[in-house]
Structure 1
């Protein structure tokens, strides 16, 4: 799995931030507040994200309405798993990763590990 391209990331970011489905027109209008973009460019990239499985879409009237198929957190976790798969020394990679964490991030990791431990304990 590769990360998103620039426009793919911007589209996904909008949809994740809004927490709702949106039409291509809504996405274009918001993106155009920062830079000029053609409607067809955004619809093409949204269709590519749909084909890749990152967006689901539904026809409402004449417009497609797009919605992410996963959360931003699930996507980030997939990227992290992919990065770990590139090394034969996962423990070493995790050690380097944890070593660069802030105190708040380390606390969040501890809490997540506790949740998994509790979930897996019968």
Structure 2
């Protein structure tokens, strides 16, 4: 996913393979990309050859979704938020205050 997030354009599976350490088999890369597509993390442009793969969400959007998922599943959201903020740096809490407008 890091390669897809870093690329401004969708990538062919061979481009992904070539950028990975150890040059895994192309079938392995295609299997992983197809599974990520099935989970909704990756899109595939099928109207050309080779197919091009891109991330469906930016890294920031993905991370925000993970955070929202954790909060949604928590039985006590307030406790989770309190612990999260308790571990945040002063810079991070200042930034949160700015985003919240207070």
| C-alpha RMSD over aligned residues | 1.7
Unmatched runs of 5 consecutive residues or more in structure 1: 1-11, 118-122
2:101 matches 1:98: no
What is the aligned residue count? 102
Question: In the superposition, relative to structure 1, how do residues 72 and 92 fare at CA in structure 2: closer, same or farther (>3 Å)?
Answer: same
Which residue in the other structure is 1:13 paired with?
2
Which residue in the other structure is 2:68 paired with?
81
Which residue in the other structure is 2:15 paired with?
26
Which residue in the other structure is 1:108 paired with?
95
Aligned residue for 2:46, secondary structure, equals: strand
**If the length of structure 1 is used for normalisation, what is the TM-score?**
0.75
Unmatched runs of 5 consecutive residues or more in structure 2: none
**If the length of structure 2 is used for normalisation, what is the TM-score?**
0.87
Aligned residue for 1:85, secondary structure, equals: helix
Aligned residue for 2:24, secondary structure, equals: coil
